Amino acid sequence: MPLERTVQGDGFVLRFSWHGDHLRAQVDGEHDTYEISLAYWMLVAQECARRQATRVLVVENIAQQGDDVDLPKLIDAIIALGFRDIRVAFVDLVEAHMKAMEHGEILARERHITGRVFAHEHDAVRWLRHGIE
């Protein structure tokens, strides 16, 4: 199984890489919508299943946050994809998005997802590998 793989989605590019104890998925794009977010999370779920990953780092590099992203609906859809049993560290590279991402973290935790949102990748990796939940 290759350590790296790139998938071109509709409105985004998703790059997967294996880091020994976790999967790293970086999504790059210009605009975010509910459909784009759900599409890339579906691909992340498939890659986690393919690699039997129990830890995933998702790095989002999408310049413009979508106004039409319904966070509670998106979080419920992500849970339905099987993330209840996967430790998820999420990094948004656009600092202006952090307030919304923190709201998403709260919603996910209320739904019993082991996940956290970070502004910096090194903090996310440390938590992913050693953090206490």
Domain containing residue 24: CATH number: 3.30.750.24
Position 66 scores a pLDDT of 63
What burial class does residue 24 get, using C-beta atoms within 10 Å of its C-beta: 0-12 exposed, 13-18 middle, 19+ buried? buried
Q: Give the structural domain span for 46.
A: 4-130
Mean pLDDT of the chain: 89
In one letter, which amino acid is 59?
V
pLDDT (tens digit, 9 = 90+) per residue, 41-98?
999 999 999 999 999 999 999 987 666 568 889 889 988 999 988 999 999 887 766 7
What burial class does residue 87 get, using C-beta atoms within 10 Å of its C-beta: 0-12 exposed, 13-18 middle, 19+ buried? buried
Q: How many domains does the chain have?
A: 1
Tokens 């890489």, residue located: 17
